[in-house]
Amino acid sequence: MSSVNPNLSQERSAVQFPIEELTQFILGGPKRTEKKRILRSLVDPNKYPVFTNDDKFFLSRDKYYVRTLEKLKKLIQYKKQYDLDRDDWFYLLSETGDPNVLILHDLLFIPTLEGQLSDEQLQKWLPLAKDYAIFGCYVQTELGHGSNVRRLETTATYIHETDEFDIHCPTFTSIKWWPGALARTSTHAAVFARLIIDGKDYGIHPFIVQLRGENHKPLPGIEIGDIGPKFGFNNIDNGFLRFNHVRIPRDQMFMKFSKVSRDGKYSTPPHAKMAYGTLVAGRVDIIEQASLFLAKVLCIAIRYSIVRKQGNDTIKNPNESTILDYQFQQYRLFNSLSIVYTFHFVRNWMRDSYEINKKQVGDGDISSMADIHAISSGLKALCTELASDAMEDARRACGGHGYSHFSGIPSMIEFYAQYPTVEGENTILYLQTGRYLIKAFENARNGRPTPAALSYIKDTSRILSERSRATTWEELIDPNEQVKALTHRHTRLLAQLISNLEKSSRNHPQGYEGAKSNHMIDIVNVSRAYCYMIIVISSNEGVESIKSSHPNIYPILRTLVNLFFANSVLKYSGEFLLDNYLDSKHIEILESGVKISLEQIRPNAIGLVDAWEFSDNMLSSALGRYDGNVYEALYNWAKKDPLNLAQEKGLLIGYNEVLKDVFNGEYLKEIIKSKL
């Protein structure tokens, strides 16, 4: 085992809180922490070479895909051997350091079955899916339509005579495009198509369709292929799918809510929002992933920033400075670190809210469904937006080496780049949340029922009349003051939006609804402000809830949540100054408070990333190694490049093919000089 870089050792010894306590807090307590350490050992590449990642940068797409399937096979063995629950299973998958098609089967396909199949259908299909006797994917997006699900073109026409549905892609733009695990892996699909009965269109409904038969070959009438290289996620087989009048039995329509009888009678669910469950579940999962992926990137960037020395050397003092000691490096990385831990509290709050609502829906109570849908939509958009931006900033903070795939960060950025788009493109989600807020404001003003989560809207006049009375940093970061500030900003923007909509609607040909198209920017801004408020509320609730139970880690987590709040206000300081909720003195106090927070975080930075216990194999990073031997790793990994291995064998790739002619000038004798 290689020795640890002395700079990292020194930093770890100076951390001001017990790292083990923070680790247990992150991973769910002492017992879960111990269990997860055992799970991590199951994918140790030193014991099980199939999980190695140090050569993945050199693999072709086909070999990378096969490597992924080899991991899949071993992982399924583990799942059955140890009877892993959901939390342990997804932790094990994440510890491999690579996306796996299992995620698409277990996170999308199975929840769709569970959420939308009838009890009778579940008895048939769910055991097959959970046993991996069939492998499924979620097939919704088409070439011509993604976010606008209502305009999907694939049809499912009921055939009375045979009691079947005819699945068909009638146009070129109706070809299904993008579903993960479709091109080569899946045997079945949850296909979303327009339900047609006797010429009448009943809208989009899901159907389970078998795609492949003997020897995994596509069934008649089904054309499947790979959509080609992507920005990232290239070990996953995203594909296209074209149906040419494929027949399926009637009972393969998902019938938990909507149903079609043998005589072709269509019945609707008791409430349209009952079908929101799968969408919300996917967004909650993405919100949970935001802190995890950003934590990985920052683990790399902060470890490297402790090892890397640059500048400040003079003739009298030849020692260069550790780059993490530069204030602006701290500003970049610690602000992002505040996002990680703030989001950790948000994810717990969102998961709890989702589980409570899920139980209510199961009992027939859908009163909170629209609230959870709107909140999860907006939070998914803001969390992925902030996490993506922070990841790229961390890559830049690593300088030139951050641009190398060996840093591990580009791969993570490439993978995470899908999240602002999948499960609802962020702008669309902001607009959905905005419509929910507009409706709630109108209801409150007209004396109609208002969601409990938005009850404060009834006090709009009082909220807008208030101004901050805080005079110190301590007063500004008081949890109640944080919530009041963000609530004021959101409420003012919402009230202003409503006023502007009313003015615009007077001259708009489509009236009030049509006027919304002229205020899309404002609607997005209102939604974003609302989500910042939710984040500040939930993170403050979360950090205060551990004040007594975790007194050793509370102070540093409190500092991080405060830093997130301060940056949220400073980012939009103009909006707080516009109506004098805050004044210039408040802004000065917040700016000074941010700098003080950076100083408090600095000695604890390494502990805040080490606590996540990311393995070197999971990070796949020369820069983020636990031992800090960055430069040796960069050199040794570069030596593994096939181009370098060929050169060691005397094969100078490119020379005999082209360069030899360029250097000797022979190729120039073939040309005939002429003027253009």
Q: How far apart are alpha carbons 1 and 629 in whole angstroms?
A: 11
Note the pLDDT tens digit of each residue in 23-49: 999 999 999 999 999 999 999 999 999
Q: Are residues 230 and 309 in the same domain?
A: no
Q: Considering the domain boundaries, does residue 56 fall inside one?
A: no
Residue 281: its pLDDT value, please? 82
Q: Give the confidence band of 273 by pLDDT, cuts at 50, 70, 90.
A: low
CATH for 204: 2.40.110.10
Q: How far apart are alpha carbons 469 and 315 in whole angstroms?
A: 52
Residue 271: its pLDDT value, please? 60
Q: What is the mean pLDDT of the chain?
A: 94
Checking phi first, is residue 109 left (phi over 0); if not, alpha (psi -120 to 50) or beta? alpha
Kindly state the tokens that stand for 651. 């094969």
Residue 272 has pLDDT above 70, yes or no: no
Residue 450 has pLDDT above 80, yes or no: yes
Q: Are residues 253 and 379 in the same domain?
A: no
Q: Are residues 511 and 657 in the same domain?
A: no
| CA dihedral sign of residues 152, 117, 188, 282 | positive
CATH for 313: 1.20.140.10
Q: Considering the domain boundaries, does residue 42 fall inside one?
A: no
Q: 45, 66 in Cβ contact below 8 A?
A: no
Q: Are residues 253 and 376 in the same domain?
A: no
Q: Are residues 330 and 402 in the same domain?
A: yes
Contacts with 289 (C-beta within 8 Å, 6 or more apart), sequence order: 419
CA distance readout (Å), 350 to 142, 280, 313, 356, 564: 30, 10, 48, 10, 18
What average pLDDT does the segment 618-636 reach? 97
Residue 515: its pLDDT value, please? 86
Note the pLDDT tens digit of each residue in 366-412: 778 889 999 999 999 999 999 999 999 999 999 999 999 999 999 99
Q: Considering the domain boundaries, does residue 50 fall inside one?
A: no
What average pLDDT does the segment 257-275 reach? 81
Q: Are residues 330 and 449 in the same domain?
A: yes
Predicted TM-score of the model (pTM): 0.94
What average pLDDT does the segment 490-509 reach? 93
Give the per-residue SS3 of 24-64.
Answer: HHHHCCHHHHHHHHHHHHCCCCCCCHHHCCCCHHHCCHHHH
Residue 364 has pLDDT above 80, yes or no: no
Q: Considering the domain boundaries, does residue 500 fall inside one?
A: yes
What average pLDDT does the segment 238-254 reach? 97
Residue 530: its pLDDT value, please? 97
Q: Is 180 annotated as a binding residue?
A: yes
Q: What percent of the chain has pLDDT over 70?
A: 98
Q: Are residues 312 and 240 in the same domain?
A: no
Note the pLDDT tens digit of each residue in 544-571: 999 999 999 999 999 999 999 999 999 9
Q: Are residues 472 and 327 in the same domain?
A: yes
| 3-state DSSP assignment of residue 440 | helix
Q: Considering the domain boundaries, does residue 107 fall inside one?
A: no
User: At residue 665, what are phi and psi to the nearest 5 degrees?
Assistant: 80, 5
Q: Is 471 annotated as a binding residue?
A: no
Contacts with 589 (C-beta within 8 Å, 6 or more apart), sequence order: 472, 473, 476
Identify whether 423 is a catalytic site residue: yes
Q: Which domain holds residue 196?
A: 134-266
Residue 2: its pLDDT value, please? 72
What average pLDDT does the segment 298-315 reach? 90
Domain C-terminal end among 590, 607, 624: 607
Q: Are residues 385 and 491 in the same domain?
A: yes
Residue 1: its pLDDT value, please? 55
What average pLDDT does the segment 336-357 reach? 94
| 3-state DSSP assignment of residue 313 | coil
669 versus 444: the higher-pLDDT residue is 444
Nearest to 512, CA basis, from 495, 526, 500, 529:
500
Note the pLDDT tens digit of each residue in 60-113: 999 999 999 999 999 999 999 999 998 999 999 999 999 899 989 998 999 999
Residue 674 has pLDDT above 90, yes or no: no
Residue 277: its pLDDT value, please? 65
User: Considering 95, 423, 575, 613, which one is annotated as catalytic?
Assistant: 423
Residue 276 has pLDDT above 80, yes or no: no
Q: Considering the domain boundaries, does residue 365 fall inside one?
A: yes
Question: What is the chain's percent helix, strand, coil content, to nearest 5?
Answer: 60, 10, 30
Residue 313 has pLDDT above 80, yes or no: no
Q: Considering the domain boundaries, does residue 240 fall inside one?
A: yes
Note the pLDDT tens digit of each residue in 169-197: 999 999 999 999 999 999 999 999 999 99
Q: Are residues 413 and 522 in the same domain?
A: yes
Q: Considering the domain boundaries, does residue 104 fall inside one?
A: no
Q: Give the confidence band of 473 by pLDDT, cuts at 50, 70, 90.
A: very high
Domain count, the chain: 3
According to DSSP, the β-strands at 176-177 and 164-168 are unpaired
Q: How far apart are alpha carbons 320 and 113 in whole angstroms?
A: 59
CA distance readout (Å), 272 to 151, 267, 276: 17, 12, 8
Q: 430, 527 in Cβ contact below 8 A?
A: yes
Contacts with 574 (C-beta within 8 Å, 6 or more apart), sequence order: none
**What is the longest distance spanned by two Cα atoms in the chain?**
93
Domain C-terminal end among 215, 245, 266: 266
According to DSSP, the β-strands at 239-243 and 246-249 are unpaired
Q: Are residues 260 and 283 in the same domain?
A: no
Checking phi first, is residue 449 left (phi over 0); if not, alpha (psi -120 to 50) or beta? beta
Q: Are residues 358 and 219 in the same domain?
A: no
According to DSSP, the β-strands at 188-197 and 155-159 are parallel
Nearest to 633, CA basis, from 320, 333, 392, 300:
300
Nearest to 94, CA basis, from 368, 384, 291:
291
